[in-house]
Structure 1
Amino acid sequence: MLVRIRSRDGNYRFELAPNADVADLVAKILDTTQDADPTSFTISNQPRGNEVLVSTLQGRTLESLGIKHGDLLFVGYQAKPAPSASTSQPEPPQSHPAAGDVAAKRPWEVVHEDPVDAFWRSRDGKIPRSRDTRFCKHGANAMCDYCMPLEPYDTAYHTEHNIKHLSYHAYLRKLAPKGSAATTSSAVLPPLEPPDYKVKVPCPTGHPSWPKGVCTACQPSAITLQSQPFRMVDHLEIASPDIIQRFLEAWRRTGLQRFGWLIGHYEPYEDVPMGVKAVVEAIHEPPQEGELDGLSLGIPWEDEPRIKELAKHASTPLTIVGYIFTDLVPEPDDRTKTQYRRHPQSFYLSCLEAIFAAHVQRQNPTASKSSTTGYFGSRMVTAVLTGTEEGGIDVAAYQVSEQACAMVEADMIEASVDPGIVRVKEEDRSEDSARYIPDVFFRYKNEYGLEVKKTAKPAFPVEYLIVNVSHGFPQDPKPLFQSAKTIENRPGLEDQSTQRLVNDLAKIHAPEILPGEGMTQRRRDLAALLSDWHLISFLGTTQLVSQEDMKTFLRAASSPQLLEDGSVLDSVITTESWQTLMTFTREMAPARPSGAAPTSAGPSMDEDIPAEYYEQIAREQAEAAAAGGAGAAGAAGGAPGIRICPHCTFENTHGGTDCEICGLPLQ
């Protein structure tokens, strides 16, 4: 049964069996206090009077004391006496609960929220209004009902500005207005409690647990599906259109669907009262198998801990804010256009995608001081790249509701053949996979415009689980990363390799760049090369850069001053790992033979270039010399479409700006 307690430390609820000893109740109350004297505990069924010393009730059960389910008891006690100053013996450590013990008892008091939550908690969030020229009759420094600021949850304001959902902090302010007696009291409980649709095990009344038995005390209440009034994220902002274009390039070249994790951070969103937006700075693509109509990937992915830890050390700390996937099919008649597949007559998120989103959100909860568990909801956003009605490509962003996450956690729902319909599972009383399914209902308007309540068994529309999130691009893009040259896990398209990295560094003569120089063109080229999330992530797998230096590399790569401030680049090239990388580059980079033609045994040969090429070059140079240099002159200036590399002297006949052999720029 449930017993409610009110003391100087706050209001609490404990689940106890009716035959539990009163000492069990005292032990639970002691857990909520810090320095109470157990011998001074009193208990009463009234706020004042009828106090009874608990020490006189030893051996009594709660049932014998007349305590029933839902009763409210008032507890009083005296604090332990302070230790005497003359006492030389230190106080036993158990008299002061450790910080970890306090955290276990009150998780909402010690949880660390995101900086955007701290920002909104420090502000009142009210919506300012200017003076109304029609109704305001007062002076410029006065205020009335027509011009006073509105609360962030004002219904009329949201309707006028077509804002469908309250922001998370506006919803909190509606539940517990700032400055009210409830919120200023230290005894208040957090207003949020995550929904739970599972049977309580064990049951507070003491009967055998489900599936052997169930009662009103342990079974979940009936569920009425409804549109969630708030959303954890109000807007998805892509820092630059190039991020989406680079992600789409794999689909354009192969026709296979792609998936990626959104790397970014959270910021205040001023277009919604007390709003929060997720800003995407990069898309990290995990190992996956793309198909024409779907894809396969592993969850959790092997590299996830490393990527999350690395992202924390950017100049603006980053995290995974969501995921994105493509659902693109070209039109059969015009392959330059895409099919319009997600619309009001079809679906926006399929049932399978909604259930997957619920799994991801459950695994990434949001720290909250307003929840009894210290966590509530999730800010993971689901983004879809899909076709528009005009045949173009656009982004759509969603979340799923807390009801959806709770139903997935309770193993209540599953996908159906129809993408717009979610099936409610059958109840299972087997010992191995016991599943209790409470009554589930949803409301809708019938053909007469009347609101009707209908059972959700065996299925219900997936729209009841979806929360819309707006999206867009900034007018003045300022992404943290300026480049995305080679993206990970695209085998056959963009193969990341140490040799490719070495070639890129050799092209800009990176080993010759020294600290303290001005921002020369070579230093700008190096800064642009390093300002790449995918490159920095790849460096972490090469064993060439230490873990500590990886933090320096990422901070510099994500710095807004990287291309202008030479000291930012100096922080990288003065590290020990950079010197190791440059040594590796000198040894692995393609050689630059000059003078005599290199031989197969020459020290300047590149091991990656077959010896036959050098022999061919030597023969051609010998023939040119015998002809008095005419052949070389003709190859250099007369033969159309032929360019000789000044480094390895190989003739490049297929166009392009880089040598086909050594990869260095042609002149």
Structure 2
Amino acid sequence: MLVRIRSKDGNFRFEMPPTADISELVAKILETTENADPSTLTISNQPRGNETRASTLKGQSLQGLGLKHGDLIFVSYKSQAVPSAPPPPVAENGAPHLPTSAEQSRRLWESVKEDPVDEYWRSKDGKIPRGRDSRFCKHGANAMCDYCMPLEPYDAGYHAEHNIKHLSYHAYLKKLQPKMSSSTSSHLPPLEPQSYKVKVPCPSGGHPNWPAGICTACQPSAITLQSQAFRMVDHLEIASTDIIERFLHAWRQTGLQRFGWLIGRYEPYPEVPMGVKAVVEAIHEPPQEGELDGLSLGIPWEDEPRIKELAKSAAAPLTIVGYIFTDLEPTPEDRTKVAYKRHPQSFYLSSLESIFAAHVQNANPTLSRSSSTGTFASRMVTAVLTGTEDGGVDISAYQVSEQACAMVDADMIEASVDPGIVRVKEEDRSEDNARYIPDVFFRYKNEYGLEVKKSAKPCFPVEYLLVNVTHGFPQTPAPLFRSNKFRIENRPGLEDQHIESVLQDLARLRAPELAENPNGGDFQQRVELAKWLSDWHLVAFLGTTQLINPEDMKVLARVASSPDLEDPSILDPLFRTESWQTLMTFTRETAPRRPTTSAPSTGPSAMDEDIPQDVFDQIAREQESATGSGGNIRICPHCTFENSHGGTDCEVCGLPLDG
């Protein structure tokens, strides 16, 4: 077969067998170069972009890489630092010895562990089934024609008919590689993350690095903003309305805006061809300072690694799938209604919020076997709780495009005073903060209905950066966490978390009694305790008390997120942990003690068992005050029994009345 090569040294042709190893072709290419560094040699099927290091393709045949007779390959490389350096070592077959470091010996995209939802869709063809058309299908029941054959998942007519604005991520991949086998497609990933930065060092190597010099080989191309054809997440699903109601409670009590990270997982979304949805099981609120018209928070936050590790330990592993914030303001006319601020005549997501979303997405890329870098785009969703036209509260969900993420990564754009407008920064050639700004354009329809191309400098509408994501609640809610009543973290003064309240609840639920008899106990008590533990905010708080070690926290997280809390044995793994026994010891010590023998009617009865300890303490203080005024009754601090004798020990429990 004939293989054509184009590099900065010229055009070359080589006759090679299809079964030849890529290293043999690399050896011939190196013969045409001058002082080339073999470890930097890259090949591509395009003049610019999709470059792949030749060293990562070691062991592959030309035919296996998808090369055919007459194919043109574009080659680039860097020159060696020392021209007089000795040539690279040669292998036994005469081919140059390529680097075998951990990063280069295996191609990055092959070692990537994708999300389970990606593995699911890669095992499916994604075809859209169609039934028999009674008007046009003239064949038998077992036959098929153009009117009833399945459609490809990227079929434009189907998406237009069902008002689906964006292709799903995997439908987009099918469109890029419609008929290539999975083995062939893995050799040449179709995706390349966008970058608008100047390449440093310059591939040509003929001038000083930016900002001292620049050329067409290292400068980014002009940018034309356009609606993104695909989206990484098609739907945002909140597992229960209680999750949103608890999040809104802080705003309703204080009027200050709130922010929270969405804890959940990704699942298939069959309503869209090869779709993906983010299912939210909890909202974790980081430290923040809320204001009437905004909020302040730190990124990254200190507790982030612990929360991510805790989420992974759930029965169905969870992760951070996005974030949510409020933008709510009561109307002056009716304080029970919320102002309608985000609409077509205003903005959907402000320029500042869009840039923040790009920062979050850049920090959380999606692992992908279809990208040459092993990562591509992000599945982090931005959700906003804002007012509706009728004065209610609703959720809006978005992502920002890959162009937006690349522009933020290149420090090209900034927020403006007008929330619906994005500003393009000025070019900066200083050594400390060098910034190259390529030409940026966007298209729009003028008053005559004609499409016009216009320069985006100095500003452009923020809508060009947004990707819409649908949202909703399940018809039959089945949240992973059954309870959402425990106090929420980082709400000082409004909801303070204390270990004392946890111990009181454990005593009320008779957890020590169940721990003493782990294989028995009342069935209803075990179910009630399991449901009380099934609270994300409670589990997250217990991890900060230092009473439960990290390994036992994983057990607690699995038990709390178990889908079968009615199973009497679900608590057994937790009861066997050392940390749970420690927690029960503290519970027994802080729980109110009750008499072990019969007591007069003036003492505590069985009805007192559900009364919190602080009530007993208050009664004891009042009665002690009365005794000090001339009475002879002394309250036992251990069992709260009223002793009318003048002795020093309690008549019931026998312990000293002085404590």
TM range (shorter): 0.7 to 0.9
Alignment of 1:317 onto 2:317: yes
In 2 relative to 1, CA 59–377 (structure 1 residues): closer, same or farther, beyond 3 Å? closer
The within-5 A match list for 1:438-587 is: 438-484=438-484, 485-513=486-514, 514-517=517-520, 520-562=523-565, 564-587=566-589
> Following the alignment from structure 2 to structure 1, what is the Cα–Cα distance between the partners of residues 247 and 82?
68
Deviation at 1:31, TM superposition (A): 1.8
TM-score (norm 2): 0.81
Q: SS of 1:267's equivalent?
A: strand
Deviation at 1:398, TM superposition (A): 0.2
> Following the alignment from structure 1 to structure 2, what is the Cα–Cα distance between the partners of residues 60 and 486?
65
Is the CA contact 1:11–1:187 (under 8 Å) kept in the aligned structure 2?
Answer: no
Equivalent position of 1:589 in the other structure: 591
Alignment of 1:423 onto 2:426: no
For 1:582, give the aligned amino acid. Answer: M
Cα distance per residue 1:626-666 (max 9 Å; x no partner): 99xxxxxxxxxxxxxxxxxx98699xxxxxxxxxxxxxxxx
> Following the alignment from structure 1 to structure 2, what is the Cα–Cα distance between the partners of residues 433 and 11?
44
The within-5 A match list for 1:65-76 is: none
Equivalent position of 1:664 in the other structure: none
Deviation at 1:202, TM superposition (A): 1.2
Is the CA contact 1:8–1:187 (under 8 Å) kept in the aligned structure 2?
Answer: no
> Following the alignment from structure 2 to structure 1, what is the Cα–Cα distance between the partners of residues 60 and 150?
45
Cα distance per residue 1:203-238 (max 9 Å; x no partner): 122201111111111100000000000000000000
Equivalent position of 1:160 in the other structure: 161
Deviation at 1:431, TM superposition (A): 0.8
In 2 relative to 1, CA 234–59 (structure 1 residues): closer, same or farther, beyond 3 Å? closer
Equivalent position of 1:410 in the other structure: 410
For 2:210, give the aligned amino acid. Answer: W
Deviation at 1:546, TM superposition (A): 1.2
Q: SS of 1:198's equivalent?
A: coil
Cα distance per residue 1:445-477 (max 9 Å; x no partner): 000000000000000000000000000000000
Is the CA contact 2:30–2:36 (under 8 Å) kept in the aligned structure 1?
Answer: no
For 2:312, give the aligned amino acid. Answer: K
Equivalent position of 1:126 in the other structure: 127
Deviation at 1:576, TM superposition (A): 1.2
Equivalent position of 1:614 in the other structure: 620
> Following the alignment from structure 2 to structure 1, what is the Cα–Cα distance between the partners of residues 158 and 124?
19
Equivalent position of 2:195 in the other structure: 196
> Following the alignment from structure 1 to structure 2, what is the Cα–Cα distance between the partners of residues 11 and 352?
52
For 1:120, give the aligned amino acid. Answer: W
Is the CA contact 1:36–1:78 (under 8 Å) kept in the aligned structure 2?
Answer: no
Q: What RMSD, in angstroms, separates the aligned Cα atoms of the two structures?
A: 3.6
Cα distance per residue 1:33-92 (max 9 Å; x no partner): 54699xxxxxxxx9689xxxxxxxx9999xxxxxxxxxxxxxxx99859xxxxxxxxxxx
In 2 relative to 1, CA 541–27 (structure 1 residues): closer, same or farther, beyond 3 Å? closer
For 2:398, give the aligned amino acid. Answer: Y
> Following the alignment from structure 1 to structure 2, what is the Cα–Cα distance between the partners of residues 425 and 507?
61
Equivalent position of 2:363 in the other structure: 363
> Following the alignment from structure 1 to structure 2, what is the Cα–Cα distance between the partners of residues 349 and 516?
54
> Following the alignment from structure 1 to structure 2, what is the Cα–Cα distance between the partners of residues 349 and 27?
42
For 2:252, give the aligned amino acid. Answer: R
Deviation at 1:527, TM superposition (A): 1.0
Is the CA contact 1:446–1:452 (under 8 Å) kept in the aligned structure 2?
Answer: yes
Cα distance per residue 1:100-124 (max 9 Å; x no partner): 5434xx1111111000000000000
The within-5 A match list for 1:48-63 is: none
Q: SS of 1:281's equivalent?
A: strand
Residue ranges of structure 2 left out of the alignment (5+ in a row): 1-6, 15-19, 42-52, 62-67, 72-79, 84-89, 604-611, 643-659
Deviation at 1:493, TM superposition (A): 1.3
> Following the alignment from structure 2 to structure 1, what is the Cα–Cα distance between the partners of residues 319 and 220?
35
Q: SS of 1:469's equivalent?
A: strand
In 2 relative to 1, CA 127–289 (structure 1 residues): closer, same or farther, beyond 3 Å? same
> Following the alignment from structure 1 to structure 2, what is the Cα–Cα distance between the partners of residues 187 and 626?
89
The within-5 A match list for 1:394-409 is: 394-409=394-409
Alignment of 1:205 onto 2:204: yes
Deviation at 1:625, TM superposition (A): 9.6
Q: SS of 1:566's equivalent?
A: coil
For 2:184, give the aligned amino acid. Answer: S
Deviation at 1:318, TM superposition (A): 0.2
For 2:499, give the aligned amino acid. Answer: T
Q: SS of 2:362's equivalent?
A: helix
For 1:194, give the aligned amino acid. Answer: P
Deviation at 1:349, TM superposition (A): 0.2
> Following the alignment from structure 2 to structure 1, what is the Cα–Cα distance between the partners of residues 378 and 26?
26
> Following the alignment from structure 2 to structure 1, what is the Cα–Cα distance between the partners of residues 621 and 184?
87
Q: SS of 1:134's equivalent?
A: coil
Deviation at 1:615, TM superposition (A): 4.0
For 2:126, give the aligned amino acid. Answer: G
Q: SS of 1:436's equivalent?
A: coil
> Following the alignment from structure 1 to structure 2, what is the Cα–Cα distance between the partners of residues 10 and 238?
52
Is the CA contact 2:366–2:379 (under 8 Å) kept in the aligned structure 1?
Answer: yes
Is the CA contact 2:413–2:425 (under 8 Å) kept in the aligned structure 1?
Answer: yes
Cα distance per residue 1:155-202 (max 9 Å; x no partner): 00000000000000000000001x436x54378411110111000111
Equivalent position of 2:56 in the other structure: 32
The within-5 A match list for 1:91-110 is: 97=100, 100-103=103-106, 106-110=107-111
Deviation at 1:23, TM superposition (A): 4.6
Is the CA contact 2:55–2:98 (under 8 Å) kept in the aligned structure 1?
Answer: no
Equivalent position of 2:86 in the other structure: none
Is the CA contact 1:539–1:545 (under 8 Å) kept in the aligned structure 2?
Answer: yes
In 2 relative to 1, CA 329–175 (structure 1 residues): closer, same or farther, beyond 3 Å? same
In 2 relative to 1, CA 342–433 (structure 1 residues): closer, same or farther, beyond 3 Å? same
> Following the alignment from structure 2 to structure 1, what is the Cα–Cα distance between the partners of residues 111 and 629?
81
Deviation at 1:520, TM superposition (A): 2.6
The range that moved more, 156-165 or 208-217, is 208-217
Is the CA contact 1:325–1:385 (under 8 Å) kept in the aligned structure 2?
Answer: yes
> Following the alignment from structure 1 to structure 2, what is the Cα–Cα distance between the partners of residues 340 and 227?
26
Is the CA contact 1:266–1:278 (under 8 Å) kept in the aligned structure 2?
Answer: yes
How many residues are aligned here? 576
> Following the alignment from structure 2 to structure 1, what is the Cα–Cα distance between the partners of residues 292 and 25?
55
Is the CA contact 2:523–2:568 (under 8 Å) kept in the aligned structure 1?
Answer: no
Deviation at 1:521, TM superposition (A): 2.7
Cα distance per residue 1:239-283 (max 9 Å; x no partner): 000000010011111111000000000000000000000000000
> Following the alignment from structure 1 to structure 2, what is the Cα–Cα distance between the partners of residues 333 and 607?
47
For 1:24, give the aligned amino acid. Answer: D
> Following the alignment from structure 1 to structure 2, what is the Cα–Cα distance between the partners of residues 360 and 278?
16
Is the CA contact 1:10–1:186 (under 8 Å) kept in the aligned structure 2?
Answer: no
In 2 relative to 1, CA 25–618 (structure 1 residues): closer, same or farther, beyond 3 Å? closer
Cα distance per residue 1:476-501 (max 9 Å; x no partner): 00000011221111111111111111
Equivalent position of 1:65 in the other structure: none
> Following the alignment from structure 1 to structure 2, what is the Cα–Cα distance between the partners of residues 12 and 430?
43
Cα distance per residue 1:274-309 (max 9 Å; x no partner): 000000000000011111110010000000001101
> Following the alignment from structure 1 to structure 2, what is the Cα–Cα distance between the partners of residues 27 and 203?
13
